[in-house]
Amino acid sequence: MIRCEHLTYVYQRGTPFAATALDDVSLEIGAGQVVGIIGATGSGKSTLVQHFNGLLRPTAGHVYLDDVDIHAREVDRRRVRQQIGLLFQYPEHQLFEETVSADVGFGPRNLGLGTEEVQARTRRALAQVGLDPDAFGPRSPFALSNGEMRRVAIAGLLAMEPRMLILDEPTAGLDPRSRREILDRIVRLHDTRGLTIVLITHSMDAVARLCTRLIVLDRGRLVADGSVREVFSDPAWLASLGLGIPQVAVCARLLRERGLPVRSDVLTVDEARAAILDALSRPAGSRTVSENSSG
């Protein structure tokens, strides 16, 4: 669906402050995938996703949506942005309208849709984020709680009915319960509407729970692109990049060090539980850790 070929981006080119944010990045994201992008701060994650919907033009390389170069002359950038929804960090800072409905409807109005369609999409989008359109619609977006404002912002994007949703740290600044709620909703959007999801996050636990594929960036270069389990199988290397692994995986590894042969490639609490129980159920004699156990 989205393909990048040798994507390079340099900020402030030609000035003494020039900085290469992306260096020869090539990747492909297919429809329906749930991809996580991780990397230390400044590794180019936000810069990368801003190329997907054409907000940034590559200094070198190409970006293709459905095999069409999005920077080709005939391409309508607005169509690209309708199909690829990008949610920035702290999206509640972009709210501006007098009512929640008006703000959610901003996107559809920009697409030139009629009043009825705009209203219908607004109601659907608000319902999708768990806000009652009749209760929240007429309220001012500035009179809501942080979590509610963020959901309004997400609804604003969903109202455009994109095929891909890119979320830049959607749980930043939220308490644990709100985090779980938002991530659950994202999963539901993927499962029920078939949305392709790209998630930028610093939370390895979120990645483990949601994503099937992981892309790792380091100082503008793509250094890993594979299944979540593959990428998390080398914590030492990840640590050298300033990244970690899911907490349950750390736990499993510690248990291994202390002599319990737990599988260390666990990603969720349930997997860890099963792995620990499995290790405990082995006969005492075989409870030794061999150097090259599966991990």
Binding residues vs another protein (CB under 8 A): 11-13, 15, 17, 50, 53, 55, 78, 81-82, 85-88, 91, 93-96, 106-107, 110-111, 142, 156-157, 160
CB of 109 to another protein, least distance (A): 8
**Closest C-alpha among 226, 228, 267 to residue 247:** 267
| Angle of helix 176-193 versus helix 146-158 axis, rounded to 10 | 20
Radius of gyration over every alpha carbon of the chain, rounded to an integer in angstroms: 21
Count, residues in the chain: 295
> Residue 118: phi, psi to the nearest 5?
-60, -45
Instruction: Tell me how far, at minimum, the Cβ of 19 lies from another protein, in Å.
Output: 10
CB 189 within 8 A of CB 165: yes
Q: Smallest distance from the beta carbon of 251 to another protein, in angstroms? A: 38
Q: How far is the CB of 270 from another protein (least distance, A)?
A: 36
- Which residue type, as a one-letter code, is found at position 11? Y
In the complex with another protein, the residue whose CB is nearer, 86 or 224, is 86
Rounded to a whole number of angstroms, the minimum distance from the CB of residue 174 to another protein is 17
Q: Cβ of residue 200: shortest distance to another protein, in angstroms?
A: 14
Q: Is 151:129 a contact under the CB 8 Å cutoff?
A: yes
**Is the Cβ–Cβ distance between 47 and 22 less than 8 Å?**
yes
Q: Which is nearer to another protein, 5 or 161 (CB)?
A: 161
Q: Structure tokens of 45?
A: 């994650």
Q: Which C-beta is closer to another protein: that of 86 or that of 252?
A: 86
Both structure tokens of 199? 């998630």
For another protein, the closer of residues 107 and 261 by Cβ is 107
**Residue (15 or 294) nearer to another protein, CB:** 15
* H or E element, residue 115: helix 115-128
Nearer to another protein by C-beta: 93 or 282?
93
Helix axes 247-257, 269-280, angle to 10 degrees: 20
